[in-house]
Amino acid sequence: MNEVKKKEITLTIDGKKIKSEWGKTILEVARENGIYIPTMCYLSKVEPIASCRMCVVEVEGVDGMILSCQEKAVDGANITTSNDALFRERQKIMELYDVNHPLECGVCDKSGECDLQNKTLEYGVDAQEFAAKDQHRPMQNWGFVSYDPSLCIMCERCVRVCNEIVGDEALQISVGGYKSTIINVKQDEDCAECGECMAVCPVGALVSTDFKYTSNAWELDKIPASCVHCSSHCQLYYDVKHTSIDSPEPKIYRVTNDFEFSSLCGAGRFGYDFENRTATKESNKLKEAVEAFKRADTIRFSSMITNEEALLLQKIAKSVDARLVCDDAIGYQKFMKAYSSVSGKSLYGATLDTLKKSQMVVILGTRVYDDAPMVKYAITSAVKREKAQVVYLHPIEDNRIQNLVTQFIKYEVGSEEGVVSLLADTLIKKDGLDKSIKSLLDSLDIGYLSAESNVSEEELEQLKAKMWKRKRFTLVVGEDLYNHPEVENIARFIALIEKYSDFDLIAIPPASNTLGVSLICELDESASGYIVGYNAPGDYTLSALGDGDIDMPSLNQQEGTFVSIDKRVVPTHPALPYSGYELLDIAKELGESSEYIIEFTPSLPTKKGFKSINFDDLPDYFDVTGKSHRGYELDMVECESGSLPSEPQEIDSYDGTIVYRCNSGRAFNPFTSKCEQLKENEVTLRGSAQFAIAAKLSDGDSVKFTIDGIDYQRVFSIDTSLKGTIALNPIFDIGLSSFALSSYRFTKVKIEKTGQ
């Protein structure tokens, strides 16, 4: 949809003539033009906080000083950002900030990167005229984050990002004048423990519990990389240093990001310790690996690899005449191919940035809080800034996003094909439709589909009513659909919705580089014969954990690229060394001549939208906040279209006890040993009291069951927030086996009680 062109204005800042757009604040205009205005509380990604008053400026014709973070720039304004009066005003503010602030910079984790420290020096505060009675403010442990109220300056940044970006609304201000503190009202439950509050804290009040007292900021080298825990591939830095002279191997001490512009989830911020520590360069192991590939009928792998590795696997598979199997990507690849056969394009239309600007969001087939934190963050921004209506369709209600969802529609397990056909009938504009499409929609048995899916026609009318006078619509779909038996017909209905309604689509890739793998590799659905692969049933397994026959480097030990959920090719760099043989070493023994894996970057398939650009020449691009990133957007490739969905199949009923495969938002990538800290409390089968009755279980019972040939042993826990006869089963503790799961996420199981 075309945006209305904004009115151009001309103003003067510190004698410099500047052109800008109406609607921007003085601070925004100044920053865009490289003019410095100091702030303590301001963050570009949230609404102005206006608690610090450091950003005061003078405007000609206006009495007194005004806050540049709030005041809109107007045409003809003459603004002064720095003079003696403004310097003294800011100096007094810093003096007040420093009242009774403990002088513990020598041991404070923020020392060297502390805004309070920097601005105290900048404004020459070397004496204190003010005093206040000190308060007893004990340190608080919030899990991965620790809070020291005695260092808190009440800038409110942490509260704002928790409310406006993360959407958890876990942090609040306990108002009490000089005794005011920040409180975590969801510390024990429903706090995502993302560390976003810690990242934006300008002082040492909020710090990483693990990082505390381990290193000074200036001792750490920052290695730019892309997060590997999901397909958002957020930009981050691995903060690395050598542990000691006697131990020259570097160590990742923490993960940081450019918090002013970007965000991270808990996995990205705290789940960084997943490198392969045990691999060695033994010549016999390389020979064994080469022979294994030569004999293999099938190569099985996970989509947690780089684009370059995926291309190399494709080459190896052709050279040894083997099939490629990627269980976590095959369903997504089938979905996108079927989608393209209707839409006529290779990729979906929306991005996280367009999602943030949406005024209407429909979510289907994903437990979005756990599956895709950055998608949830984008939805939060849409709700907080655009007042977006959010319709969430799923068999399980999620009370953690009740503050964002304006309508929850519960459908029956297995009925996704019927649900998308109902959405197509509801959302597609009927005027001017092709006769074949109109005939298809007219032939839908709405009464049957509504009854069997448990989605009433009244609920659909309510959904349609929410679209009134709104613009910028986004449909978000996820992993529940990709492994559904009717995934291809579901994809065709969804493509029809995007093509003939106002909705743009985001199809969340289920694993780190699923989108890249699905574009690069020719995947097979089944595995048989001699197999080399991740946790495969053959004689050899590839492992980035150091526990396989063929060791591989993990993604914090590699250089290469990924394809993000925003359809961008983004780079990553190795933070830690790798001591073993890589896939490229195996390929060399099979005839490959390339010396480095990044030599494959310009060879990524252009017919799938990649560009022939060398890794070191990847261009810069700027996001909506003005932040620079490396990488490029995939080209949208035109595809042969003309296919139409068929009428939905009869909906199967799922009776009895059903288990839903889903990691908790607190459960990190199975590669990271941070999972070990969570296993005792998090690896439980969680179900409602109704589920307990149906399965004849009590809280605390030990149980076992089997799904896709994998045996699970769990402790059953009653979760009062859940309803119905569906239990949540985490899989992060089964390691690489989790990537071999390619069945529908809901499974009817027989649960055996093994003890208490």
41-81 tens-digit pLDDT = 999 999 999 999 999 999 999 999 999 999 999 999 999 99
Q: Mean of the per-residue pLDDT values for the chain?
A: 90
Q: 180: pLDDT confidence band, cut at 50, 70 and 90?
A: confident
What pLDDT was estimated at residue 5? Answer: 59
- Highest mean pLDDT among 362-376, 662-676, 733-747 belongs to 362-376
| Model confidence pLDDT, tens digit, residues 365-423 | 999 999 999 999 999 999 999 999 999 999 999 999 999 999 999 999 999 999 999 99
Q: 716 near 687, Cβ under 8 Å?
A: yes
pLDDT per residue over 573-598, tens digit each? 999 999 888 899 999 999 999 999 99
pLDDT per residue as tens digits for the range 189-228: 678 889 999 999 999 999 999 999 999 999 999 999 999 9
Q: Report the pLDDT value the prediction gives residue 367, as an integer from 0 to 100.
A: 95
Say which range, 289-293, 667-671, 728-732, has the weakest mean pLDDT: 667-671
Predicted local confidence at residue 198, as pLDDT:
96
Residue 538 scores a pLDDT above 60:
no
Which pLDDT value is given to residue 676?
43
Number of DSSP helices (H) and strands (E) in the chain, helices first: 22, 35
Instruction: Please tell me the distance from the alpha carbon of residue 674 to that of residue 665, in angstroms, as a whole number.
Output: 13
For the cut 70, the answer to whether the pLDDT of residue 308 exceeds it is yes
- Give the pLDDT of residue 606: 97
Res 540: pLDDT: 67
pLDDT of 730 > 50? The answer is yes
Which of helix, strand or coil describes residue 300?
strand
pTM of the model: 0.93
Q: Determine contact, residues 498/216, Cβ cutoff 8 Å.
A: no
Instruction: Residue 238: name the closest of 452, 590, 555 by CA.
Output: 555
> How confident is the model over 692-726, as pLDDT tens digits?
999 999 999 999 999 888 899 999 999 988 988 99
Question: What is residue 276's predicted lDDT score, i.e. its pLDDT?
Answer: 85
The pLDDT value recorded for residue 439 is 93
* 628: enclosing H helix or E strand: strand 628-630
CATH fit for domain 131-270, picks 3.30.70.3000, 3.30.70.20, 3.90.950.20, 3.40.50.300 = 3.30.70.20
Banded model confidence at residue 284, pLDDT cuts 50, 70, 90:
confident
Contacts of 145 (CB under 8 A, 6+ apart): 193, 195, 197, 198, 206, 207, 208, 209
Asked whether 608 and 214 are in contact (CB, 8 A), the reply is no
Span 331-507: which CATH code? 3.40.228.10
Domain with residues 658-755, CATH architecture: Beta Barrel (2.40)
Q: What's the confidence (pLDDT) of residue 243?
A: 67
- Number of other residues whose CB lies within 10 A of the CB of residue 734: 17
Residue 4 has pLDDT above 70, yes or no: no
Render pLDDT for 516-535 as a digit per residue (tens, 0 to 9). 999 999 999 876 677 777 65
Same fold, 131-270 and 658-755: no
> What is the structure's pLDDT at 675?
44
Between residues 360 and 185, which one has the greater pLDDT? 360
Which strands make up the sheet holding 323-325, listed edge to edge? 323-325, 298-300, 531-533, 540-543, 550-551
- Cα separation, 405 vs 392, in Å, equals 7
DSSP string, 344-385: SBSS-S--HHHHHT-SEEEEES--HHHH-HHHHHHHHHHHHH
Q: Are 729 and 685 in contact (CB under 8 A)?
A: yes
Checking if the pLDDT of 360 tops 90, the result is yes
Mean pLDDT of 256-283: 88
Domain 8-97, architecture per CATH = Roll (3.10)
Res 710: pLDDT: 86
What share of the chain in percent tops pLDDT 90? Answer: 71
Q: Confidence class of residue 625 from pLDDT cuts 50, 70 and 90? A: low
Integer-rounded Cα radius of gyration of the chain: 27
Residue ranges of domains in the chain = 8-97, 131-270, 283-326+521-618, 331-507, 658-755
Nearest C-alpha neighbor of 89 from the set 106, 64, 61: 64
Tell whether the model's pLDDT for residue 620 goes beyond 80.
Answer: yes
Cβ atoms 228, 191 nearer than 8 A: no
Report pLDDT for 671: 44
Where does 257-366 show beta strands of DSSP type E?
A: 298-300, 323-325, 360-364
